[in-house]
Every structure is written in structure tokens, then in C-alpha cells.
Structure 1
Amino acid sequence: MREIGRDDLPGELSVFPLPGAMLLPGGHLPLNVFEPRYVALVEDALVGTRLFGMIQPHEHEPSPEKAEAARASSLVPPPLYRVGCAGRLSSFTERQDGTFSIVLTGICRFRLHHELEQRHGYRRLAVDYAPFLSDLSPQPPSFDRDALLDALRRYFQTRGFEARWDAVEQMDDETLITTLSMICPLPPAEKQALLEAPTPADRAGILRALLEMAGHEPEADGPVHLA
């Protein structure tokens, strides 16, 4: 995949809003695309720049007026968080039924400026990358790796998750932070906090704190396999 620079980032970005699915710069997000509007998004990306964005719908309860409007019309889209991440469609498989299995590779975060008219049923945003241009030239993060891994082990043990620890320990620092932030099944608001962390080192600190808190409260999450 060729390197993408600032001038390659589109000011108007098609987006795939999906709660709990977070893309980070340098991360690889597999997606199963079957809904017609997002099949159209992938098809449009393949004949264009191959770039589109991931962003989470906002989980806050709407006002009574907005809730009533949403009940009255299924066309009212949910509000979005203000920060998402643009990615490049780095691999894809098209199935016989026209659906896709894809991998989106994170490039740079963006801030939502305003929403544009939909295209083929999917949402489009005017976005600003300026606050996050450091994503294009990341620096090695400085953080307490041993403390993060200790928190991860306790979290996985408490939740009954499985991991190939030899593979985890072989990850470089940036890959470790990015992979853990994307794969750990944290609530959407906590995922958003990780996404909006100013630097990978800040993200590592937030992730460690979240894992330490979550590791004290077992939940019946589905199985998670790391590495």
C-alpha cells in the first residue's frame, strides 16, 4: 500500500457508522459488509480513492423531541461522535451474493465539521484532519509496557478470555497499543476515549486504567482471542 500524505486526505468523506468498532491509525479492521448501503459504499470506494471513515454513533439518549422524530421516521439517522478515523480499503473479497469481506487500514483521525447529503443511502461528512496530522508520522510511544501487560493479563483472566501471550509480547509498542485498543471489548464511550487520546502514549495510559477498572467486574462477554 502506497504511503498516504496530507494532500491525499479528502475533505469530504464517506463513513461507516458502527458502535464499538474503532479504527486507529496503523490498525487493521476486518469488516463483514452485507447491508446494501454499505455494499454501495465499498463499491464506490473501490472505483475511487479506496478511502472512507469509521465513526461511532453517539450513545447518549436523544432529547424527547428528537426521540419522537426518530420514531416517526426511520430516515432520521442517529447522531455521531465528533471524532472518527479515515482508513484505506487495503484488501477485500467479494462474495457471489455481492457482499464483501474487507480490511480497512487506519490512516488519520478526523474531526466532524458537518454532515453532507447522503449518497446511495450511506452517510457523508465534511471533515477536518488538522488536529491529527501527527497520525501520518507517528513517533515511538513511551509508556510502562510491563504495567500495561499486567493489567491486560488480569483483565483477560477475570473475563475468561484467551490470548497467545508469546505473540502479544513480540508486538512492537505501537502495534501493541493499537491492537489492544481496537480488540478489547470495551463500551463505545471508552472506545471513543481511546480514539481521541492525543498520542499513543496517552492512549496506553487510558487503556491501562480502563483494563484495571474492568478487570474487577466479571461480565458474560463472548470469547475474545488475541493474536
Structure 2
Amino acid sequence: MNKSINRSLVVPIFPLPVVLFPSIDLPLHIFEPRYREMIHDVLTSGGTFGVIRIEEGARISGMGCLARIVDLSKLPDGRMNIIVQGCDRFSLVNLVDGKPYRQARVHRITDCEPNIDCFEVARDVHTALDDIARLSSKLQGVPIDVVSDCPEDPTELSYWVPARLYGSPAEQQRLLEVETTIERLQDEFRLLNETRKHLAARAALKDAFS
């Protein structure tokens, strides 16, 4: 196991059509009065709020990510542009009444320190990313750098890959919910390896006809 669940806590909830991952920055434009109030309350308390994905039918997912505000710019009309950074994941327990905005009781999930197996799979992921960048550059004829800010830490890497490389919110949500770092990395390596094979086949075909 490389996760642990801490005690429950009540946090403001911001449902969005996107997925936030730990250690990843997300810019947000705050315009609704209830969410302006939410941000004010979060700033006053010095706490965090939860970003959780809206699914089909306006349902919210069962897992999200706690967010802390790292930058804020207030506009003259009261709207705000903020940047948040993902903290720990959380599992949703139940919604809580009492505010104009949504609140929920959640269980905070803290990832444990990665073990040696995580580092081994992380190396495989790094190699696959390097190969994908090289093959993509060859096919397009221009330098492509997708890994310049790629983290070394296995847990951070396991969140960086879906945040940067997978555009489907449903697929991102699935990877967010994978229980442990090593399982998430193994899943991502399989996806990256399929991409690498596809690009290698295209590159070989290009060489054959060049």
C-alpha cells in the first residue's frame, strides 16, 4: 500500500468539468457570487477547498482533490482570477448544508512515500515519454519537448502524466481514483507504451518511403 486516509473534514466544494491533480496548478475565473463568497471564506480561514468533477447529469464524482490558492487577482467588478495548486486527494462522504456554496464532509487521502518498485516503474515511464517525444519530433519534423518539466518523484509523476498528456476528463478521473502510486504508474506506462508502439510503426513507415 502507498496511501493512507486521515480523519474526515468539512471543506467547501467547487464542482467543475475538469480534474485537478495533486501538485498541479489550475487557473480559475471566479464570477458567481456564491463562489466569490467561498473564496473569501477560504482566504479568511487559510484553508483549502475541494475541486471535484461534474459528471453527466450534473452528478459529482466520488473523489476529488483539495486545492490551495497560490495566486489571486481581484477585478474591479468583484470577479477574481486565481491559481490553485492541488494538494491531497479526497473521497466524498456526504454533502453538508449551511452555506450558499456546496460543502462536503470528505476523507483526506495522503499518499505514502514511494518505495523502490515505484521508482523502477517511474523510470520506465520516463523512458516511454522520452521515446514518444523523439518519435513525435521525427514524424513532425520539428523539435517536440513534452518532458522538460517532468517530475522525478514517482507520486508527482503519476499525477503529472494524466494532467499533461490525457485530455479526456473521464480518463483523468479514472486515473485520479487509482488507489496507489505504483498502480497508477503501471496503468500509465501501458497507455504510453501503446502510444510509443503506434508512433514507432508510423516512423518506420515514413523511413520506408523516404
TM-score normalised by length of structure 2: 0.71
Kindly provide the amino acid, as one letter, of the partner of residue 180 in structure 1: V
Q: 1:154 to 1:168 in 2, by over 3 A?
A: farther
Amino acid at match of 2:48: L
Decide which structure has the larger Cα Rg and report it: 2
How far is the alpha carbon of 1:26 from its aligned partner?
2.3
> Percent of aligned pairs with the same residue?
29
The answer to whether the 8 A contact 2:159-2:176 is kept is no
* CA–CA distance in structure 2, aligned partners of residues 150 and 179 of structure 1: 17
> 1:111: Cα distance to partner?
0.9
Alignment-mate amino acid for residue 34 of structure 1: F
Match of 2:152 in 1: 172
Partner residue, 1:189? 170
- Which residue, out of 189, 193, 198, partners 2:179? 198
For 1:84, the equivalent position in structure 2 comes to 64
Tell me if structure 1 keeps the 8 A contact 2:65–2:89.
Answer: yes
Of 45, 65, 75 in structure 2, the residue corresponding to residue 95 of structure 1 is 75
Q: Which residue does the alignment assign to 1:37?
A: 34
Q: CA deviation at 1:97?
A: 2.3
In structure 1, the residue corresponding to 2:23 is in which secondary structure?
coil
Q: 2:114 matched to which residue of 1?
A: 139
CA contact (8 A) 1:14 1:52 kept: yes
Give the direction of change, closer, same or farther, for the CA distance of 1:155–1:41 in structure 2 (3 Å limit).
farther
Q: Which residue of the partner structure matches residue 74 of structure 1?
A: none
Q: How many residues align?
A: 187
Provide closer, same or farther for how the CA distance between residues 186 and 157 of structure 1 changes in structure 2, counting only shifts above 3 A: farther
Give 1:41 deviation, angstroms.
1.6
Where in structure 2 are the equivalents of 1:12-161 lying within 5 Å?
12-19=10-17, 21-59=18-56, 62=57, 78-117=58-97, 119-120=99-100, 122-129=101-108, 132-133=109-110, 135=111, 137-139=112-114, 141-142=118-119, 143=121, 144=124, 145-151=126-132
Q: Deviations over 1:143-181 (max 9, x none)?
A: 11202443466689999xx95346246x42444433332
**Structure 2: runs of 5+ lacking an equivalent:** 199-210
How large is the Cα RMSD of the aligned pairs? 3.4
AA aligned opposite 2:89: R
Name the one with the larger helix percent: 2
Unaligned runs of 5+ in 1: 1-5, 63-77, 217-227
TM value normalised by structure 1: 0.66
1:180 and 1:156 map into 2 onto residues whose CA distance is: 19
Does the 8 Å contact 1:55/1:84 carry over to 2? yes
CA distance in 2: counterparts of 1:105 and 1:48, whole angstroms: 17
Letter in 1 for 2:32: E
